[in-house]
Structure 1
Amino acid sequence: MNDFTMAGSERRATWALGAVFSLRMLGMFMVLPVLTTYGMSLAGASEPLIGVAIGIYGLTQALFQIPFGLLSDRIGRKPLIGAGLLLFAAGSVLAANSHSIWGVIAGRALQGSGAISAAVMALLSDLTREQNRTKAMAFIGVSFGITFAVAMVTGPLITRAVGLSGLFWLIALLALAALALVIWVVPTPAAHLLNRESAMVRGSFRAVLTHPRLLKLNVGILCVHILLMSSFVALPPLLVQAGLPRESQWQAYLVTMLIAFVSVVPFIIYAEKRRQMRRVFQICVLVMLGAELTLWQSGSQLWGLLAGLQLFFIGFNVMEALLPSLISKESPPGYKGTAMGVYSTSQFLGVAIGGTLGGFFYGQGGAALVFAGCAALALAWFVLSLTMSEPPYVSSLRIVLPEGVSVDAALEQRIRACDGVSDVLLAGAEHSIYVKVDTKRIGRSDLERLVAT
């Protein structure tokens, strides 16, 4: 078998964990396009409290994301993932049985407390070999984008058929289905492997949090999700006012998501192949700014709202693909896992802030104030993006050293001398090296041959 061909156990682990991740994310996003319309019928509901219900999931996710990731190193990946899915299911059941907005808020908070994303990625690292790990993680990333699109379309359809309570019951069933996959389908690793490319490492957070380039990217994903959640506090009821009933809004989301998915491809190809990621990043911020201005000025004109929605999803989908790649390029060798953990925490903080502020602004001044505030944030973000530098076009590699090869300064010097190597970290405890390389000039096989000689 080709060493770069996935073994059966690797394929099984990849698709099963991808399904676990997708089922959980599907449950989170299906609520987004319907809570502001169907949720207003709950006892005690108001626009600010609807915003809290949307955003509180992100707050508890942000609070537990890093602690759960570190805890999985101690108690095991699968037990922690199982516990997180049970918490998610319990929160869904609580929300399904609630007839007041406060019950839904409590259920959403409990859903978010099952923060398993870091543990899922760490388990995927345990179950795949170095040369196949990038492919496995790319599969997870693609599944995230597809899941978001499916959720935006199916959420309104399902809620139309079974109501908001029925939607939460379905979300609970999805969580239990994911739990069944973890118990009976996902392989159990023989050992937990410390891999700094996919797991968070104690003692690394200060370096990541104070890294100026990573800090700007974390602000970026924060802004993306503030804009997303704030906009979707105001947009669904505004579409109703414009003549698009809540039962039919799935059609608008289906068309806009399909167009947005097609639009992502040329942006990413241009950014990666032409090495113009900074320019594409700034263009996408401008697209999202244009989307918010369009939504702001459209009032209750349906075609203007649909145009703004289309622009928003084009910018959003490109950013969701671009930002993780930028984090990988900018993170120092051996810090990628920690950098992604901080990135995910920033993402969920954006969910919390966006939902809460969006609800507050909607209650104070209606949809126009929400979109005006989002436009102001996008403008400030664009100004910040002008200070960004072009990223290094490098990839992160972890090379496990053969038996008998010493992890010493001489080895580090030999690797640093290679054309295409920009940085090296020796990890003696793992008997490995972490390398940042330009893969157009040197590849994994070249480095493996070098360390073996």
Structure 2
Amino acid sequence: MNDNKMTPVELRATWGLGTVFSLRMLGMFMVLPVLTTYGMALQGASEALIGLAIGIYGMAQAVFQIPFGLLSDRVGRKPLIVGGLLVFVLGSVIAASTTSIWGVILGRALQGSGAIAAAVMALLSDLTREQNRTKAMAFIGISFGITFAIAMVLGPIITHALGLHALFWMIALLASGGIIITLLVVPAAPHHVLNRESGIVKGSIRQVLANTRLLKLNFGILCLHILLMSSFVALPGQFEQAGFPPNQHWKVYLVTMLIAFGGVVPFIIYAEVKRRMKRVFVGCVGLLLVAEIVLWGAGNHFWTLVCGVQLFFLAFNLMEAILPSLVSKESPAGYKGTAMGLYSTSQFIGVAIGGSLGGWLLGSFDAQTVFLAGTLLAAIWLLVSSTMQEPPYVSSLRIVLDEAALNEPDLEQRLKAQAGVTSVFIVREEKSAYVKIDSKVTNRVELEALIASA
């Protein structure tokens, strides 16, 4: 039997939780390309309040994500996921039922309050074995990118055909489907796995925040989502002024996203296989700067706007792929879960700032001012990213230890002496060894054999 082959339970958990995560993320992204145009018909709407409606989702996510992740250790993963989805459904129903922008803002805040991402990752960790967990986590990451692309296309199509209220009703329906999948498809975990690779650990947040390399990456994801949200507050109106009606916007997003998905693959391979991560990262930030400059100068020229969007999506999709990889590489052994939690929180703070600031700038000035602000932010990010060091090309492993291994006094030294091992952190109360390795030199099988021989 191939021990690295996923079991039926692991496959159900991976597909089920990946689907739940994707259905919920549609609620964030489907609204993005349409709320600026269709939302202006709501009672009391203004550009600033539209931006707030977009951004408040991220602020609620940022506030509740880490506490809900820790709470899932006490109340259980599935109850918290179902509860979070119920809150999300409630927010969607409120947004679908209201005729006021303030009702949409309340609904979006409730949508963001159902923060289940950390609980989803923790349940996935409970249901998968160590040797298959990386594959399961990668599937979730890939589903995130695909969901973004689908949402950018479906949002304008649905809203034009059925209206903004119908879009929120559909989002509520999708989240309800997520509840059904959680209850009927996702297996129940027999016990919680305290895994520092996928979960946030109390008392470790301060240490992670003190890591300047991780801080630069958190600043990066913050900037990336400020640029995303602020740009898409301004873009729909710019396309409309260029003579391209809102019901046709999905065509631009479809073509540019497809090109971007194919275009980033060679750069991802170059960054990972050739170990040129910093070069690709800095180049990517530079491309975002160029995209914002193009959008800033585009005015009402349709094809210039399309070029700006294409450059933006190329850089955005590439950055979404390599930033989590960089966080994984830079996080100390045993602190990857906490590092990823703070990274996600920074991402949603960026959503909040980008939506709110973009809406305020659009209402107080114009779309060119929004893109100018994005240009300045991208320039600052480029300066910060140029100070980054080349990351260590390592992978994180968690190895379960039996009593014999725990009683071996020299185990940590033996592991550190193994070629390809860069750091070791043994947590005896968790019966675990957290190890950072160069996967081109050693692997899990060799380390488990070394522990067994000890």
- Asked if Structure 1 and Structure 2 have the same fold, meaning a TM-score greater than 0.5 normalized by the shorter chain, the answer is yes
- Give a deviation string over 1:231-274, Cα, whole Å, max 9, x none: 00000111011011000000000000000000110110000011
Query: In the alignment, what sits opposite 2:40?
Result: 40
- Give a deviation string over 1:204-257, Cα, whole Å, max 9, x none: 100111110000000000000000000000001110110110000000000000
Distance 1:259 1:446, change over 3 A: same
| Counterpart secondary structure, 1:191 | coil
What is the CA-CA distance between 1:365 and the residue it aligns to? 1.3
| Counterpart secondary structure, 1:392 | coil
CA distance in 1, matches of 2:192, 2:116: 16
Query: In the alignment, what sits opposite 1:381?
Result: 381
Query: In the alignment, what sits opposite 2:247?
Result: 247
CA distance in 1, matches of 2:266, 2:402: 41
| Counterpart secondary structure, 2:410 | helix
Query: In the alignment, what sits opposite 1:199?
Result: 199
**Residues 407 and 431, structure 1, Cα contact 8 Å, conserved in 2:** no
Query: In the alignment, what sits opposite 2:212?
Result: 212
What is the CA-CA distance between 1:161 and the residue it aligns to? 1.2
CA distance in 2, matches of 1:407, 1:341: 32
- Give a deviation string over 1:337-375, Cα, whole Å, max 9, x none: 000100000000000000000001111211000000000
Query: In the alignment, what sits opposite 1:78?
Result: 78
Amino acid at match of 1:301: H
What is the CA-CA distance between 1:409 and the residue it aligns to? 4.5
Query: In the alignment, what sits opposite 1:271?
Result: 271
What is the CA-CA distance between 1:402 and the residue it aligns to? 3.3
CA distance in 1, matches of 2:33, 2:421: 46
CA distance in 2, matches of 1:98, 1:349: 26
CA distance in 2, matches of 1:405, 1:322: 35
CA distance in 1, matches of 2:360, 2:160: 27
Q: Flag structure 1 segments of 5+ consecutive residues without an equivalent.
A: none
CA distance in 1, matches of 2:5, 2:331: 27
Query: In the alignment, what sits opposite 2:295?
Result: 295
Query: In the alignment, what sits opposite 2:106?
Result: 106
Query: In the alignment, what sits opposite 2:23?
Result: 23
CA distance in 2, matches of 1:24, 1:234: 25
Amino acid at match of 2:103: G
Amino acid at match of 1:236: P
Matched-pair identity in %: 66
Q: What RMSD over aligned residues (CA atoms) do the two structures have, in Å? A: 0.7
| Counterpart secondary structure, 2:397 | strand
- Give a deviation string over 1:352-400, Cα, whole Å, max 9, x none: 0000000011112110000000000000000001110000000000011
What is the CA-CA distance between 1:27 and the residue it aligns to? 1.6
Query: In the alignment, what sits opposite 1:228?
Result: 228
Q: Does 1:186 align with 2:186?
A: yes
> How high is the TM-score relative to the length of structure 2?
0.99
Query: In the alignment, what sits opposite 2:357?
Result: 357
CA distance in 1, matches of 2:404, 2:269: 42
CA distance in 1, matches of 2:117, 2:84: 10
- Give a deviation string over 1:284-328, Cα, whole Å, max 9, x none: 001100000000001010000000000000000000000000000
| Counterpart secondary structure, 2:404 | coil
Query: In the alignment, what sits opposite 2:145?
Result: 145
Query: In the alignment, what sits opposite 2:305?
Result: 305
CA distance in 1, matches of 2:350, 2:24: 19
Query: In the alignment, what sits opposite 1:337?
Result: 337
What is the CA-CA distance between 1:408 and the residue it aligns to? 5.2
Note the 1:83-162 alignment, pairs <5 A: 83-162=83-162
CA distance in 2, matches of 1:211, 1:311: 31
Query: In the alignment, what sits opposite 1:417?
Result: 417
CA distance in 2, matches of 1:142, 1:409: 41
CA distance in 1, matches of 2:408, 2:61: 40
Amino acid at match of 1:400: V
- Give a deviation string over 1:175-210, Cα, whole Å, max 9, x none: 000000001110000000100000100011001111
- Give a deviation string over 1:35-92, Cα, whole Å, max 9, x none: 0000000010000000000000000000001000000001000000000000000000
CA distance in 2, matches of 1:408, 1:289: 53
**Residues 33 and 156, structure 1, Cα contact 8 Å, conserved in 2:** yes
Amino acid at match of 2:18: G
Query: In the alignment, what sits opposite 1:165?
Result: 165
CA distance in 2, matches of 1:193, 1:408: 23
**Residues 402 and 452, structure 1, Cα contact 8 Å, conserved in 2:** no
CA distance in 2, matches of 1:315, 1:365: 27
CA distance in 2, matches of 1:144, 1:225: 14
* Corresponding pairs, count: 453
| Counterpart secondary structure, 1:56 | helix
